[in-house]
Structure 1
Amino acid sequence: MTEHADVQVRPGVESDLQALTELYNHYVMETPITFDTRVFTPEERRPWLLSHPEDGPYRLRVAADAYSQEILGYATSSPYRAKPAYATSVETTVYVAPRAGRRGVGTLLYEALFEALSGEDLHRAYAGIAQPNEASVRLHERFGFRYVGTYREVGRKFGRYWDVAWYEKPL
């Protein structure tokens, strides 16, 4: 477990499911950061939670307030694509609760995630960042991600099309 004054970072567990679902649903309804367009119930998100065990290449790290245990954010590594040759690549993502922004939570989450992945048979991490999102671009660049290209108008949400910039990082 990673600790930073008032924030603890740990693997995600079943009891986090409600709070993680609420956090994700905020981004579904209020932002283009995810291209999901309808909210989820915790039961609908359970398979996602279970697909991120404590070991292996697909991890979930949760940041919680050290005192209240309120969920402040989470980071994941997930399969990049389903075909076998992609097995050494992961897609990473970070979601930070709006009230926890600008506190270094995203940094703590990525530190813990990449530390957890360091012993895995992985070659590259990829991140797709809906544009514009300068805070996410800065976070990813700080962790060694480099821009590799943009999918133009690849997703439609809130009545408009959005670009996604792609970044990669050697692992």
Structure 2
Amino acid sequence: MTQKPEEVQVRPGAEADLAPLTDLYNHYVRETAVTFDTAVFTPEQRRPWLHSHPEDGPHRLLVAWTGDAIAGYATSGPFRPKPAYATSVEASVYLAPHAVGRGIGTLLYDALFAALAEERVHRAFAGIALPNEASVRLHERFGFRRIGEFTEAGWKFGRYWDVRWYEKRLGPGHGHPPG
């Protein structure tokens, strides 16, 4: 008898997701160089981040759940704070350890880029701390192209880490500035 794969639900992030999202992110803070944050967060400290991703607009937060467990999330957030960058976003995906290698990152990015297709966003950028072959493969699968590397850009766990930057041109109609 074959076991049916567990259904994955992808939806916009909500207040009820704050604690599990914080726990998931803290895993990456504590255990990896995927993020250059070095101190874990409380849910209260992460609340402004959660609220900076409304259900509409270019700054999105999509959450994947399998049953009652968070499987991951994808975000598009401001690339840089200056106004001329308003049509650019930085995209990222974080997966729970139990969800890695199950296609959930692909589901999250499918949903994220479908949502961004309705927005006035011209470019998506992604920075990947190296080595991280799974993230490189995911981004390249979604049409991101390598644009450069910052060498020894971050210090964590007693060593320097390089960051490779990627960009993705977004679909037709995305060349128009906001307004």
Q: Which residue in 2 is equivalent to 1:168? A: 167
How many pairs align? 166
Runs (4 or more) in structure 1 with deviation over 6 Å come to none
Distance in 1, Cα, partners of 2:123 & 2:6: 31
Q: Which residue in 2 is equivalent to 1:32? A: 33
Distance in 2, Cα, partners of 1:53 & 1:158: 34
Paired residue type of 1:105: I
Paired residue type of 2:89: V
Paired residue type of 1:6: E
Distance in 1, Cα, partners of 2:69 & 2:11: 13
Q: Which residue in 2 is equivalent to 1:51? A: 52
Provide Cα deviations, 1:24-53, integer angstroms capped at 9, x if missing partner. 000000000000000000000000000000
Q: Give the TM-score of the pair, scaled to structure 2.
A: 0.91
SS in structure 1 at match of 2:16:
helix
Distance in 1, Cα, partners of 2:161 & 2:60: 27
1:145 Cα deviation from its structure 2 partner: 0.2
Q: Which residue in 2 is equivalent to 1:19? A: 20
1:71 Cα deviation from its structure 2 partner: 0.6
Distance in 2, Cα, partners of 1:106 & 1:165: 19
Query: Counterparts of 1:139-154 in structure 2 under 5 Å?
Result: 139-154=138-153
Distance in 1, Cα, partners of 2:7 & 2:138: 20
Distance in 1, Cα, partners of 2:51 & 2:70: 18
SS in structure 2 at match of 1:32:
coil
Query: Counterparts of 1:4-153 in structure 2 under 5 Å?
Result: 6-65=7-66, 68-153=67-152
SS in structure 1 at match of 2:23:
helix
SS in structure 2 at match of 1:64:
strand
Give the number of the structure whose alpha-carbon radius of gyration is greater: 2
**Structure 2: segments with no counterpart, 5+ residues:** 171-179
1:5 Cα deviation from its structure 2 partner: 5.8
Identity fraction in percent? 70
Paired residue type of 1:44: Q
Paired residue type of 1:25: N
Provide Cα deviations, 1:83-111, integer angstroms capped at 9, x if missing partner. 01100000000000011111001000000
Q: Which residue in 1 is equivalent to 2:174? A: none
Distance in 2, Cα, partners of 1:144 & 1:26: 28
Distance in 2, Cα, partners of 1:5 & 1:158: 35
SS in structure 2 at match of 1:39:
coil
Distance in 2, Cα, partners of 1:69 & 1:164: 34
